[in-house]
Structure 1
Amino acid sequence: PDATGAAAPVQSAPPVHGKPSAPAESIPQEPDRPEPQQPLHPARPPAPTAIAWESVASAASHAAAIPLSQQVAEEETDDEEAPAGAAELLQLSEEPEPEAGARALPDGVPEDGVYADVDVAIVMESTYPYLKGGVSAVVHDIITGNPDLTFGIIHITWDSHSPLKDLYGMPDNVAWVRVLYLSMEEHQEDFLRARPRDLRMNRRQRRELSRRILGAMLSLAQDGQTEPLWDIISEGLSASRRYPVWAILGTREFMEAYHDMMPDLGMSMTDVFWCLRDFFSLAYAVLAEPVPRAQVYHAHTTGYAMLLGVNAAREHGTKVLLTEHNLYVRDTVNTLLERRLDLNIRLTDYRTFDVTGRERMWMAWWLEMGRLCYPYAYASTYLYPRAITEANELGGDAGRAIVIPNGIVTSEFDASYVARLAAIEEIKKEGADKHLWKLVYIARVVPIKGLLDMIDSVRLMVDRGLNIHLDVCGPTEHMPSYFEQCLTRIVEQGLESVITIRGTVKVRELLPEFDLFVLPSYNEGLPVVSLETMGAGIPTVSTDVGAVRSVVEDMIVTDDGQTWDPCGIIIEPGDPTVMADKVQEVISDVDLYERLSLNARGRVEAAYDLVKVNASYNKIYRQGGAGEQAGARADRGGA
């Protein structure tokens, strides 16, 4: 992938219902994707954005379960009361919907519907292989860098109108892609048709089940006990379910249990019903369909991907591995609350934040989903050490956490590095004040990447008489309104001749043109673009986000004792003046600039080699049982 592609993080799903309010970073959607149709029910506020490809786990006491195999259903009646709004869940259509024309299968999905057992099933939310971006690029490198293992891709996306064209060229060791849809509109024939009678339970049994569900939520939220809720998922939501647990939501018994056990949510019963129905529908979309067997399910987010991965591993008796490219739960909650994504979130914050009842429920949904899933990973990988500490506050287990950074093939940047060394000699001859310093921003043009801040910094530097030019490289179409703001700011600041918007370009081919990489972002994991510019010997001035400080500034000591000093300067996000100060510091001192350039190349060679990164993943996969597919299939009588 080129550096522009590497700069883009995870894409996210559209909202469950209605349009999202403007979060810290609005979620890009394809312009030709239709909005999910609004269901016919009483007016209610739109649900917060279901991002991240972005839990009610609240009050109730645990109730002992009666084994369903020992229950005998009493005679059912059809005139029982249900809460306002429940009719949508229970109502059957008078006539079946007309069938649409045959839709082409998503790229990579087997035409015969047969999914072979694989060593590793990569579980993605929205990204690989149908969207370009940093996470997709990393996953593609992992797959191609482990040709001795077989892979499948489980791709979770919003609906069948989402991008489903392979943009990477499926590697030979990928056996299949399995696509799952989150939107309730994709589950008209299953989720929405369920009736309480499908439970085949009498009133007493429904009452016991309702209290058991709410009790399991309480056990998770208050005591961190995960098994009670996973038992219910296995019985009533997984592919091997014995009853459709979501049908309980439309019963009087469930709402009575909620009223008794969750009296302090600060929401009307109608609002609670619709919120819970959203949660049930999302859980159903992720858990209810069978997924192919893998020795290791490798989830790349803590949300729906990890929820699916844990459930699949439990169903098949295999294992789940988690990789957090960013702290998904933190970013999702901050987006929900329209906060900066780099602000810290703790597991219990949904209990103490001053938010609406509906926001509190969605905070709980995401935070408790993380707590439900974290304990089942046999290992969790992070891009930098600080992320492990931050994940601990969300329920992660430091004892099973491993740091595996992103990596690049350094030799691919040899020509650019040679050109940089030559450029430094030319700068020495002409002098720092005479040289036109070419700065480059490489990222999507969206609020979270901070381009407006960078434009303000450029104005400050021009006012100081610095001889600079800024190139903006990266997609501009993800958020047109923000792009227009940036264009307007450039004109207002009189910077048309100083800033060039290049859009999506092959940045690798342009790297020899640039002197300094600037990253004014508010949120990152470990941006591959940082490694790529370092491989070309380009120093950095960046905000302190994600792994950037460890990549750019922290001391690196190799196995043979060699040390590498910083290759740039790190600043706090959101301060255009400091950005201007530090850029000026770098470009005013050629000796400093040369040291930073040499350190950039040395650091990436020493610590971010892609071959070593892929070897680390191979080792972890094999610890989870990958590479044993032939023997495992033979034991089960497979081919």
Structure 2
Amino acid sequence: MNDIVRANAAGTSAGTGSVADPVADIALLLEGTYPYVRGGVSSWVHQIITGLPEIKFAVIFIGGERKMYGPAQYQFPPNVTHVETHYLLNQDKPLKPNARKGDRRAFSEMDELHAHMRQSSTMPVEKMTKAFSRLGSAGGISHEDFLYSEASWDYITRQYRERCTEPSFVAYFWAIRAMHAPLFVLADIAAGLPPVRAVHAISTGYAGLLGAMIRLRRNIPFVLTEHGIYTKERKIDLAQATWIQDHNDDVCNTLHDEMGYIRGLWIRFYEQIGRMAYAQASPIVSLYEGNRLRQIADGAAAEKTLVITNGIDLQRYRVAFEKRGEKIPPVLGLIGRVVPIKDIKTFIRTLRMLVNERPDAEGWIAGPEDEDPSYVNECKELAASLGLQDHVKFMGFQNVLEILPQLGLMVLTSISEALPLVVLEAFASGVPCIATDVGSCRELIEGNSEEDRALGAAGSVVFIADPEGTAKAALELLNDTARWHAAQQAGFERVKRYYDDKLMFSSYRNLYVKALDSVPDAAKPVKVA
């Protein structure tokens, strides 16, 4: 782990645990997003912090490796009073191998916890409290015991013999190590976090598990918001992951039941840590009804779930709307990270088909290109191979307020979304949208209720990975002025009526007030006998 700490407003460094007064009201637990990576989730986090200036926030960032992240992309507002940065895969002081027996009682307790997980049964709170309060310390399983003890070796080899169906022991052994090593980093973060009144994780995964650990250790409120469904997105990533070697190459890169054991083991791991987060969090927030139902299907208690939609500052985008010219620009914009989940290649293929009918058409790809450089190169090579050098522009990160007035259509070809802010931004700027039928895109474009649907369609919904259908939808809007203006009006009215950020701020203000009012008078770490 590498822990970089910015002193809080009172001049106290993180990790001391000696501050009587909280360093913040809410600690935001952020995995791979704000403040180091731009994107919809990071924009939302910054929006929440700036929109609730009366709340003091601590920012706890969790990343993979330090080299994956550059400098901070956002300037912290004054109400950010504490910041920590942690890397799950970095070791400042690598542990040296040393022979040790290990605590077999602690491994036995872990075995019981794993048994509950495999049965997808409710995990007893006292067992979870005991496991996570002791993790990484004396009386539990220390990091050294996990890596080098006889008890750990015996446990792993027994699990391999009893449960593993096909890979070599070496593959199984290193998979188990890779899965569990970050948990000790999380345990250190939970133990060293200075006093806060509540925590708010913006995903399940490692951030959500950290929230569960803090909840169990300190008995303070834990709020969870999911933009996308973390476990679903990890399944997509893992199905395509080439670093996992399946025993049968024919089933690699699929999501069906015949995938290899190690790939399935990783998927089950993320499912289970998601269930742990759901078990400890309250409330559990999603951005739209479809994701709320998915959370329940994945193990969240229905009575703890609620929907709070995204919102935007309408006044901020009025300038973009007023800059629009009278003509409809034959420009398709894709604003987002250049990564596989955004399916940039389908956007490029869409342009190839569109240009055949509209030689004046252009496609602008405006978003960060540093997350997956190999994929960026593949996309640029595809554009060149299709003869689109003069029609597709890779623009990198841009100010959306400058880009939006120049677009005729906003296009999302993503294979997974939640409630994309960029669609709301486009609507507020007078740009109709074409989007794949993922997340809340259909209800954003077509409406969510009878009253909402009466406003009309603000664009078109298309199939995933369908460049022909996407190009056809673009042509129908670009070539029909009346239809385009009707879509523009529908989108503008929809965002004004249902997605004003004042509604979102009010909802989160009430949520935080309720959480903070429930904080025990003396919230202290839970003591486990």
Flag whether TM exceeds 0.5 (same fold): yes
Structure 1 partner of 2:314: 410
User: 1:365: which partner in 2?
Assistant: 269
Once the two structures are superposed, residues 484-540 of structure 1 have per-residue CA deviations (whole angstroms, 9 ceiling, x without a partner) of: 333333333333333333332222123222221111222222221111111011111
Matches within 5 A, 1:206-217: 206=104, 208-217=105-114
| Aligned ranges 1:295-334 → 2 under 5 Å | 295-334=197-236
* Counterpart-to-counterpart distance in 2, 1:461 and 1:162: 36
The alpha-carbon distance between structure 1 residues 528 and 378, as it changes in their structure 2 partners (threshold 3 A), is: same
What displacement does 1:264 show?
2.6
| Correspondence for 1:275 | 175
User: Following the alignment from structure 2 to structure 1, what is the Cα–Cα distance between the partners of residues 66 and 399?
Assistant: 30
> Amino acid of the residue matched to residue 237 of structure 1?
L
Of 455, 474, 479 in structure 2, the residue corresponding to residue 583 of structure 1 is: 474
SS of residue matched to 1:405: coil
- Local SS of the residue matching 1:185: coil
Map of 2:508 onto structure 1: 617
| Structure-2 residue corresponding to 1:605 | 496
In structure 2, the CA distance between the partners of 1:126 and 1:493, relative to structure 1 (3 Å rule), is closer
User: 1:161 & 1:495 partners in 2: Cα distance?
Assistant: 33
Query: Which residue identity is paired with 1:284?
Result: F
Letter in 2 for 1:321: V
CA distance in 1, matches of 2:211, 2:92: 21
Q: Distance in 2 between matches of 1:383 and 1:619?
A: 16
In the TM superposition, what whole-angstrom CA distance separates every residue of 1:285-325 from its partner, at most 9, and x where no partner exists? 11134222222210111111111111112221111111111
Instruction: Could you tell me which runs of 5 or more consecutive residues in structure 1 were left unpaired when the two chains were aligned.
Output: 1-35, 37-102, 341-349, 428-434, 635-639
Matching of residues 186-585 of structure 1 within 5 Å: 186=92, 188=94, 196-197=100-101, 199=102, 206=104, 208-227=105-124, 229-237=127-135, 242-246=139-143, 247=145, 250-257=148-155, 263-266=162-165, 267-289=167-189, 290=191, 291-338=193-240, 353-420=257-324, 423=325, 426-427=326-327, 437-465=330-358, 467-556=360-449, 563-585=454-476
Does the CA-based 8 Å contact 2:4-2:86 persist in structure 1?
A: no
Q: Which moved more, 1:276-285 or 1:255-264?
A: 255-264
Q: Kindly indicate whether the alpha-carbon contact (under 8 Å) linking 2:3 and 2:86 is maintained by their aligned counterparts in 1.
A: no
Matched to 1:362, the amino acid is W
Q: Which stretch shifts more, 394-403 or 242-251?
A: 242-251
When the two structures are aligned, how many residues end up with a matched partner? 500
Which structure has more relative contact order (CA 8 Å, sep 6+)? It is 1
Which segment drifts farther, 596-605 or 450-459? 450-459
Q: 1:479 to 1:126 in 2, by over 3 A?
A: closer
Q: Distance in 2 between matches of 1:184 and 1:134?
A: 27
Letter in 2 for 1:471: W
Say which SS state the counterpart of residue 625 (structure 1) adopts. helix
Q: Secondary structure at the match of 2:369?
A: coil
Secondary structure of the corresponding residue to residue 288 of structure 1: helix
When residues 515 and 338 of structure 1 are mapped into structure 2, their CA distance, relative to the original with a 3 A threshold, is same
CA distance in 2, matches of 1:562, 1:449: 27
1:532-584 deviation per Cα after TM superposition (whole angstroms, max 9, x unaligned): 111011111111122211211124567xx995222111011101110011111
SS at 1:305 equivalent: helix
The 3 A distance-change label for structure 1 pair 487 and 588 is: same
CA 1:268–1:351 in 2, change beyond 3 Å: closer, same or farther?
A: farther
**Cα distance change, pair 184–464 in 1 and its aligned pair in 2 (3 A):** closer
* Gap regions ≥5 residues in structure 2: 243-253, 525-529
Deviation at 1:396, TM superposition (A): 2.2
Mapped to 2, the partners of 1:610 and 1:375 lie a distance apart of 29
Q: How has the CA–CA distance of structure 1 residues 464 and 157 changed in structure 2, closer, same or farther, with 3 Å as cutoff? A: closer
| Residues 528, 196 of structure 1: alpha-carbon distance in 2 compared, 3 angstrom cutoff | same
CA contact (8 A) 2:228 2:417 kept: yes
1:258 and 1:112 mapped to 2: Cα distance? Answer: 41
Which protein has the larger Cα radius of gyration, Structure 1 or Structure 2?
1
From 155, 179, 187, the equivalent of 2:85 is 179
Contact 1:514/1:538, CA 8 A, preserved across alignment: yes
Query: Counterpart amino acid of 2:330?
Result: W
Q: Does the 8 A contact of 1:107 with 1:165 survive in 2?
A: no
Change (3 A) 1:550 1:195: farther
Q: From the superposition, tell whether residues 574 and 258 of structure 1 become closer, same or farther in structure 2 (CA, over 3 Å).
A: same
Write the letter of the residue equivalent to 1:538. Answer: V
Q: Distance between the aligned counterparts of 1:173 and 1:606, measured in 2?
A: 29
For the Cα contact (< 8 Å) 1:440–1:517, is it kept in 2?
yes
Aligned mates of 2:363, 2:163 — CA distance in 1: 54
Distance of 2:69 and 2:346 partners within structure 1: 32
Letter in 2 for 1:263: E
Partner of 2:251: none
Change (3 A) 1:358 1:557: same
User: 2:174 and 2:357 mapped to 1: Cα distance?
Assistant: 57
Task: Tell me: CA distance 1:415–1:455, structure 2 relative to 1, closer, same or farther (3 Å).
Answer: same
Return closer, same or farther for 1:516/1:403 CA change in 2, 3 Å cut-off: same
Deviates more, 1:121-130 or 1:461-470: 461-470
Report how far residue 148 of structure 1 moved: 1.8
8 Å CA contact 1:119–1:295 kept in 2: the answer is yes
Looking at structure 2, the residues matched to 351 and 165 of structure 1 have their Cα atoms a distance apart, in angstroms, of: 36
The structural deviation recorded for 1:624 is: 1.2
1:389-434, Cα deviation, whole Å (9 max, x unpaired):
22223222232111112211101122322344xx4xx44xxxxxxx
Give the whole-Å Cα distance in 1 for the aligned partners of 2:523 and 2:117. 36
Q: 1:229 to 1:332 in 2, by over 3 A?
A: farther
- Contact 1:554 1:565 (8 Å CA) reproduced: yes
Q: Flag the structure with higher helix content.
A: 2
Deviation at residue 112 of structure 1 after TM alignment: 4.3
Contact 1:554 1:566 in 2 (8 A): yes
Q: How far, CA to CA, are the matches of 2:453 and 2:459 in structure 1?
A: 19
DSSP 3-state at the match of 1:441: strand
Distance of 2:383 and 2:393 partners within structure 1: 10
Given that residues 215 and 280 in structure 2 are in contact (C-alpha distance below 8 angstroms), is that contact kept between their aligned partners in structure 1?
no
Is the 1:555–1:565 contact (alpha carbons within 8 Å) kept by the matching residues of 2? no
On the 8 A contact 1:556/1:565 being kept in 2, the answer is: no
**Preserved contact between residue 106 and residue 140 of structure 2 (Cα < 8 Å):** no
For 2:306, give the aligned amino acid. Answer: I
* Counterpart-to-counterpart distance in 2, 1:264 and 1:248: 19
